[in-house]
Structure 1
Amino acid sequence: RVPGTTAHKACGDYLSEKLAAFGADIFEQKAHVTHYNGQNIQIRNIIGSFQPEKEKRILLFAHWDSRPFADEEPDPDTQNRPIPGADDGASGVGVLLEIARQLQLQPPGIGVDIIFFDLEDWGQPAFDKNYLSGEWWCVGSRYWSENPHKDNYKASYGILLDMVGAANATFLREGYSMQYASNVVSKIWSIASHMGYGKFFVQRNGSYITDDHVPVIEKRGIPCANIINLKDTDNGFAPHWHTHNDDMRNISKATLQATGQTVLEVVYRELDENNI
């Protein structure tokens, strides 16, 4: 799913078609950006809006691109090849696709917007020593935050799903989420605990992660919680992060289930006060 490739286009078409099949109104954002290495890259943000007529809304999002580098690989000869991105990107997208299916079967009391952001993971690789100042991460979400699919778009809050598929995942309370959306974090983690998913949604603060929720918070003023697998490792992530081992061998149905059912429960507990 590296931007600019045939596989990336095919995946984007699939995601757009599935959201439409599940009853969402589809918006697509396409724009060209010049990236850190001077390369011109087209981004494609895919938005599915459920019950667009409802005023009260929740935003659910993940990134769907995969990193073109494996800069955490110990062998330099393999670092310039793309990662599979089964956990980093695809896991969150997969959970949101199932949530979209459920939203069609049982519409919630509020409107829901699902966004698949592009070009989150093409930040300058660690092996490139020619450091260039700029915002090279989270490009798709930053673009949408400055150019939302609807003028003056607002949501009560947002939930980001990033790396939510690994076995024995630990979703610590990420720093920016706690700083700007502590009440949203408390709601999600409390519901997860009551559903028996406390071993995944750990009641412990984690580090600050530059991720797609940051521009949504800063530029749209929407409080967002990041559900992300954080570990006590040198880089703070699971061992397969940004390596060629980020494949289906690391994906756990139990983790996907815990994430999806928790987020769905959060959505279904919300009511649109205007329609009570």
Structure 2
Amino acid sequence: MNKWISLFLLILIYGCSNSDTPGLKFSEKGREVPSFNADSAYLFVQQQVDFGPRVPNSEAHRKAMEFFEEKLRGYAGSNAVFTQKFTAEGYEENLELGNVIAAFNLSSPDRIMLSAHWDSRPRADMDSDSTRKDEPIVGADDGGSGVAVLLELARIFKDNPPPIGVDIVLFDGEDYGKSGSLEKYFLGSRYWSNNPPVPGYSPRFGILLDMVGAEDAQFPKEQYSMSYAPNLVDEVWNIASEKGYDHYFLNEQGAAVSDDHVIVNEQAGIPIINIINHSRNERGGTEFAPYWHTHNDNMEIISKETLQAVGDVMAELIYNRL
């Protein structure tokens, strides 16, 4: 932990004074935007799925964590990657977990945070096959796709340093909990928010990517996000419209989705939005795609076109609007 704080001293000294920064104002800067490679992002999803279900305390979980560490060290440098390991109480077991964190453009006092969860669900509780409901899922979209987009952005950052400091946080233990109670969901973001690796860390804003890789995905404006950072939501969705991706980024109100961004905003005070595939039903509740929390959340539902859309919007925001 001391090594991490030492390495990120610049963030501690300068990044905590962002309250005077107009962090949620945006304008085109005329900068060149590097190309996002959907083939590469797709491969990153496949590599995660190949480990098997990435559930806490499993061999696949351990191997995936090592994979993320290796990849991010190759992109950010070995001194800019840190795994925040911690133990959490599960259901009749202690969980060994880890948030994998990487920082880019460390010299910049002006920073943003990008995040996703990297674990997969230990049970397929929504599966139509009742005999397989207790089996873990590989989580190609739910977990895998958000991480894949961030890994591809990290690869781009290596050769094209971003004009602003960017911190990638891969949260663990988001999907561990059982339906009907949120107590044991969002374990990684809860720990990170209550035990910040850099005390006083205060980026301009955060963006959470969750389920951003499925074919024909739709991202309405999630309700909590509109409460936390409406200007950021509008900018992201405007970029998507400009690029012809408004069939993914719907200009309509979404549901209020409980996710890592709620924890980060309410416990760490960081304005953060969630780009998440979902819909809002007639009663205002949340509905997810048919593959959600089932064994159908596999590579067959992953779309390079969707990954490209999300990646293009993120790259434009980072390189040309900040």
Residues 265 and 73 of structure 1, relative CA distance in 2, 3 Å threshold:
same
Q: 1:74-114: per-residue Cα shift (whole Å, max 9, x none)?
A: 23221000111000000000010000011111112110000
Q: Say if 2:86 is the partner of 1:38.
A: no
Runs of 4+ in 1 over 2 A off after TM superposition: 231-235
CA contact 2:214–2:302 (8 Å) conserved in 1:
yes
CA contact 1:109–1:270 (8 Å) conserved in 2:
no
CA contact 1:67–1:82 (8 Å) conserved in 2:
yes
One of 68, 74, 90 as aligned partner of 1:21: 74
CA contact 1:30–1:44 (8 Å) conserved in 2:
yes
Q: CA deviation at 1:270?
A: 4.4
Amino acid paired to 1:259: V
- Structure 1 or 2: more helix by fraction: 2
One of 127, 143, 149 as aligned partner of 2:197: 149
- Structure 1 or 2: more strand by fraction: 1
Hey, what does 1:129 align to over in structure 2? none
Hey, what does 2:235 align to over in structure 1? 187
Structure-2 separation of matches of 1:268 and 1:250: 29
Secondary structure of 1:48's partner? strand
Q: 1:213-271: per-residue Cα shift (whole Å, max 9, x none)?
A: 11111111111110000136786000000000000000000000000110111111244
Secondary structure of 1:184's partner? helix
Structure-2 separation of matches of 1:140 and 1:55: 25
Hey, what does 1:68 align to over in structure 2? 122
Q: CA deviation at 1:58?
A: 0.7
Secondary structure of 1:153's partner? coil
Q: CA deviation at 1:52?
A: 1.8
CA contact 2:84–2:98 (8 Å) conserved in 1:
yes
Structure-2 separation of matches of 1:151 and 1:197: 38
Hey, what does 1:140 align to over in structure 2? 188
Hey, what does 1:176 align to over in structure 2? 224
Q: 1:112-151: per-residue Cα shift (whole Å, max 9, x none)?
A: 000110000011146xxxxxx6621111011101111211
Structure-2 separation of matches of 1:209 and 1:232: 10
Hey, what does 2:136 align to over in structure 1? 82
One of 145, 149, 153 as aligned partner of 1:91: 145
Identity over the aligned pairs, expressed in percent?
48
Secondary structure of 1:259's partner? helix
One of 10, 13, 16 as aligned partner of 2:63: 10
Amino acid paired to 2:263: P
CA contact 1:159–1:224 (8 Å) conserved in 2:
yes
CA contact 2:257–2:286 (8 Å) conserved in 1:
no
Q: 1:198-222: per-residue Cα shift (whole Å, max 9, x none)?
A: 1111001111111011111111111
Secondary structure of 2:83's partner? strand
CA contact 1:110–1:270 (8 Å) conserved in 2:
no
Amino acid paired to 1:32: T
Amino acid paired to 2:89: T
Task: Give the root-mean-square deviation of aligned CA atoms.
Answer: 1.4
Structure-1 separation of matches of 2:199 and 2:57: 28
CA contact 1:145–1:216 (8 Å) conserved in 2:
yes
Hey, what does 1:274 align to over in structure 2? none
Hey, what does 2:160 align to over in structure 1? 106
Hey, what does 1:206 align to over in structure 2? 254
Amino acid paired to 2:133: Q
Residue-pair matches, total: 264
Specify every segment of 5 or more residues in structure 2 that has no aligned partner in the other structure, as ranges.
Answer: 1-53
